[in-house]
Structure 1
Amino acid sequence: MLKSTSPYELGATLYMPVLKKDALEYIAGRKLPKLRSMVLCLEDALLETDVLVGMDTLEKTLIRIGQVKEETEDKRFPLVFVRPRNLGMAKRIAEMAGIHNIDGFVAPKVRPGDYEKWVSAVRDTDLYIMPTLETTEVFDVGAMTALRDEFLANAPDRILALRVGGNDLMSCLGLRRVGKSSLYEGPLFYTISMLMGIMKSKGFDLTSPVYEIIEDGSTGEQVEQTWLREEVTKDVAFGFVGKTIIHPSQIDVVQNAFKVTRGDYESARKILAVDAPAVFKFGGSMCEPATHRTWAQRIMSRANVYGIVGEDETKAAYP
């Protein structure tokens, strides 16, 4: 049986090479205790010559994760996913000892026709799959519609969220992010809007691409986080449930953006009340439970995970 996990629990997702020597320190929550999810990567972060040692390291890590969890009570651990190089590698990993100690797979470069094969690869596990949308097919509305229908027809509950691979999509266009700009001012704006319409309208959540600018190219100093903060604020408003990060300094910026304002919380609570009127005014806006119920439920989910802006973080379910 699949674990019951809210996609909002993903928060800021940190990718980490499987060969990183202190990876278990992050998994155990001893480093970056605010980290909510991480991906052990055997794809881009691993040289072809290191695949065998990477697989051996992963299996030892999977077993050790179980031991760490047994040794530590009443502690929140980050969600842990594995990103294999390909489907064949995923099948081998799914048979490893300790595989039940993680939460799922990040499936790279998923195209129409691929997802059913991923479901088959993990059929004997209780793991989630997070397909990554990062190929030229993502720009094709027809291809994405076909992929969505494939998701719907093959264990849709396996999908915790869809990951949008921003850098790979930019590479398809021969571009990369430069300067102080957000995702929403660039050429991917149409694409993410289209994905939201096609995927989210059928219940599939999405996570936002990484903001890869962390240092000033001329000075090497860490850049001010204003542009990241602006982008993740738009991510939340757009409907994304998490964001890939590449540096620990991005964790607080991303996860603070998912906190709920007191006004939105109270509005959601009133909309979900059993005795709510069919239409009423609150906070200067019209509230209509029949129309706004899903929004209100999502607000409550965010509040449960991240808390309310300006209030004690310990009131959240996962401080």
Structure 2
Amino acid sequence: MRYFDYIGNENLERLFLKKPQYFNRDTGKELLKYSLGAFIYVPATRYDMAYKTVSGKVMGARPLAICLEDAVGAAGEEEAIKNLELILKNFKDDNVKNIDDIPLIFIRIKDANQLEKIKKIITDYEKIITGILIPKCDSHLIEKIINILNSFKLTKIYVIPIIESKEFIYKENKEYYFENMYKTLLKHKDRVLNVRIGIADLLGIYGIRRSKLFSMYDNIICTSFIHDVINYLNRPELDIPISGGVSELFNMDNEIIKNKYIEEIMLDKFHGFIGKTVIHPNQIKIVQALQVISYEDYMDAKNILNSTESIYGVSKGILGERMNEVNPHLLWARKILILSQIYGVLNEGVEYNELLEF
């Protein structure tokens, strides 16, 4: 699969200096971990919705999580697990011709006990499952889930922790929990594909819900939490991408909602996050369009990487509007080149909003 495969070749040539490349669940982790883009959650209790997304009928849906947790009511677990098996069975029977036909399918479990319950499902369909999402996650739960998967002999299935519990926000606890999360991620960095943050859950602890008038960066609880996530977990030695938090606001015909959503994604990127959890197809195109690398960033990144052996540590950017400095911008440049393989590079003069027209 690849991003923007719904855009015809003529328009791809017009829009992209460098087209997005193909990837699948067997792509090397160094590239795959940056490929999650707009990561959509679909409830397992809604078979039609989930199967439509898995089978590629939702435009642009590439990575997706079939959710057995928050999107499932207290009485819906049994039905959700049955649907999960049916979705995977029907998808495998109907659609899989080769590895490139398979989206990145993840299962969002409720807890370790539920993972034990679905052992047969994930072992039967391990070749089309990319990973397990772990909600309300801490360091102990990561260890427990990895040990369970190893006991199932499912050593090629990735895990994705979701940090969203009060232990990571309460002042008296958070240092301990973040330090242990860091140590555990470092220990299992080859197995952890991504880290996600649960903004809705954290706000819910304080009885707060999003407003369409603000982004999460306007909320001091969110900004405090984001500061800690970046400070503890966005470390070069971990090198595990962190994704931006979800928004439940999806009516992109509302200009206020759309503009705030775009602002938030741009702030996600500015804070070093890659991709974003989404809960509605209306959010997918915007998130994906904003992951594409601009002409300026791509050309400057190449220039920085080509200058590592130069006698000059500073050079003018391609558009003549900023300075490139090799030492402070080196990690940024390397990341830009990796992301350019997945999401592509826009031609000079092309803006991301042109991708929203398709």
Q: Distance in 1 between matches of 2:55 and 2:309?
A: 44
Give the match for residue 196 of structure 2.
Answer: 163
Post-superposition shift, 1:164?
0.3
Structure 1 alignment gaps of length 5 or more: 216-220, 314-319
SS at match of 2:315: strand
Q: Distance in 1 between matches of 2:324 and 2:203?
A: 39
Give the match for residue 151 of structure 1.
Answer: 185
Match among 301, 304, 307 for residue 338 of structure 2 = 301
Verify the 8 A CA contact 2:200 2:247 in the aligned structure 1. Answer: no
Asked if 1:13 is matched to 2:49, the reply is no
Residues 74 and 86 (structure 1 numbering): CA distance in 2 closer, same or farther, change over 3 Å?
closer
Verify the 8 A CA contact 2:47 2:87 in the aligned structure 1. Answer: no
Match among 123, 134, 137 for residue 167 of structure 2 = 137
Give the match for residue 205 of structure 1.
Answer: 241
1:166 is aligned with what amino acid? I
Structure 2 counterparts to residues 1-319 of structure 1, below 5 A: 4-5=28-29, 6-22=32-48, 23-29=50-56, 31-71=57-97, 75=101, 77-96=102-121, 97-123=124-150, 124-125=153-154, 126-139=156-169, 140-153=174-187, 155-187=188-220, 188-201=222-235, 202-215=238-251, 222-224=253-255, 225-273=258-306, 276-277=309-310, 278-283=312-317, 284-310=321-347
1:150 is aligned with what amino acid? T
Post-superposition shift, 1:58?
1.4
2:346 is aligned with what amino acid? V
SS at match of 1:158: coil
Question: Which has the larger displacement, 13-22 or 64-73?
Answer: 64-73
TM-score, normalised via structure 1 length: 0.87
Post-superposition shift, 1:59?
1.9
Q: Distance in 2 between matches of 1:137 and 1:250?
A: 30
Post-superposition shift, 1:312?
11
Q: Distance in 1 between matches of 2:282 and 2:212?
A: 19
TM-score, normalised via structure 2 length: 0.78
Post-superposition shift, 1:172?
1.6
Q: Distance in 1 between matches of 2:86 and 2:203?
A: 36
Give the match for residue 21 of structure 2.
Answer: none
Post-superposition shift, 1:46?
1.7
Post-superposition shift, 1:268?
1.0
C-alpha distance after superposition, 1:42-99 (max 9, x if no partner): 1112223332222222123223333345336754x43111111111111332442113
C-alpha distance after superposition, 1:296-315 (max 9, x if no partner): 111112211112235699xx
* Count of aligned pairs between the two proteins: 306
